[in-house]
Structure 1
Amino acid sequence: MAPTLEFAFRLEVDLAEALDFGNTPAGDRRFIPINGGRAEGPKLNATILPGGGDWNVLREDGVGHVFAKYTIKSDDGVLISVTNEGWIPKFRKRSPGDPEDGAEGKSGMVPEEKWYARTNPRFEVQDGPHNWLNRTLFVGELHKPEIPFHVTIDVYSVE
Structure 2
Amino acid sequence: MRLTGEHVLTIDAVLGDVVDVGETPTGRRRVIPVVGGTVAGRVAGVVLPGGADWNLERSDGSCELSARYELRLDDGSVVSVVNTAVHEASPRQPILTTPRFDVGDGGPVWLRTGVHVGLLVLRTDDRTGVRSVRVEVHRVGAVE
TM-score range normalised by the length of the shorter chain: 0.7 to 0.9
1:151 equivalent among 133, 139, 142: 133
Q: Percent identity?
A: 36
Aligned residues: 137
RMSD: 1.5
Give 5+ residue unaligned stretches, structure 2: none
1:77 aligned counterpart, secondary structure: coil
Q: 2:100 maps to which residue?
A: 122
More helix by share: 1
Superposition deviation, residue 8 in structure 1: 0.9
- Give the Cα separation in 1 of the matches to 2:97 and 2:27: 19
Q: Deviations over 1:80-133 (max 9, x none)?
A: 1111111222x24xxxxxxxxxxxxxxxxx5xxx33411110001124350001
Q: 2:4 maps to which residue?
A: 4
Give 5+ residue unaligned stretches, structure 1: 93-109
Query: Aligned partner of 1:4: which letter?
Result: T
Superposition deviation, residue 61 in structure 1: 1.5
Q: 1:84 maps to which residue?
A: 83
- Give the Cα separation in 2 of the matches to 1:5 and 1:51: 30
Contact 2:19–2:32 (CA under 8 A) maintained in structure 1: yes
- Give the Cα separation in 2 of the matches to 1:116 and 1:25: 28
Q: Deviations over 1:11-61 (max 9, x none)?
A: 1001110100111111110001110101111x1112100011110111121
Query: Aligned partner of 1:139: which letter?
Result: V
Distance of aligned partners of 1:40 and 1:5 in 2 relative to their CA distance in 1, 3 Å threshold:
same
> Highest relative contact order (Cα 8 Å, sep 6+), 1 or 2?
2
Q: 1:56 maps to which residue?
A: 55
More strand by share: 2
TM-score under structure 1 length normalisation:
0.80
2:2 aligned counterpart, secondary structure: coil
Larger radius of gyration: 1
